[in-house]
Amino acid sequence: MHSTINHDEINMLRSEVELLMKERQALLKVTGAAAGLIAELDSHDLPQDTVKAAELLASNINTLAEETLQDALSAVQATIVG
């Protein structure tokens, strides 16, 4: 019985890890798309409230580790320019 419980726990953990990896991939795509959008914006053409929202998004993106940002950009097939 002990091995059955252990096997069930392993299967549950495996399912959770798979779910988390799918969620991470989805979040990387969102982050990559947001980073690409921010990179393309011209703040001179935007309303002030939109500029503030873009600055907030950009400051949060800038807190990511370089590897995570690269993963995010790769998820949407984008690159960092300059």
Is pLDDT above 60 for 1? no
Is 59 part of any domain?
A: yes
* Total number of domains constituting the chain: 1
Is pLDDT above 60 for 82? no
29-33, 38-42, 49-53: range with lowest mean pLDDT: 38-42
Is the model's pTM score more than 0.85? Answer: no
Is 82 part of any domain?
A: no
Cα–Cα dist 76/25, whole Å: 10
Contact 30, 69 (CB under 8 A): no
Q: Which amino acid is at 3?
A: S
Is 81 part of any domain?
A: no
Is pLDDT above 80 for 3? no
